[in-house]
Amino acid sequence: MARRQTWRLEEAKARFSEVVRLAQSEGPQRVTVRGRESVAIISVEELDRLTKRAPAQPFVDFMESLDLDGLPLDREDDRGRDIPL
């Protein structure tokens, strides 16, 4: 039997257990509403893989990791225009 990947909403509701089982074993299952793809059902492992964040790097470590040698980081002496306050 071919592993279904696209379901009409009515079918997905009626056979939800099968849709979930296929999402876990075969990959994402798409659900259409009024003929248009609307949502996808994926396994929690796939969700975790897609939403995994890189470990946070402290700001100081990030700044020290930048290779800034050779970049012109000089400031101009011009302070812009005078504005009366």
Q: Is the pLDDT of residue 1 over 60?
A: no
Residue 37: count of CB within 10 angstroms of its CB: 10
**Residue indicated by tokens 């800034």:** 68
Instruction: Report d(CA 84, CA 4) in Å as an integer.
Output: 72
Q: Is the pLDDT of residue 22 over 70?
A: yes
Percent of the chain clearing pLDDT 90 (strictly above): 56
Listed range (40-44, 48-52, 80-84) with the worst mean pLDDT: 80-84
Decide: pTM greater than 0.75.
no
69-to-12, 49, 66, 73, 75 alpha-carbon distances in Å? 58, 36, 9, 10, 16
Instruction: Give the 3-state secondary structure of residue 13.
Output: helix
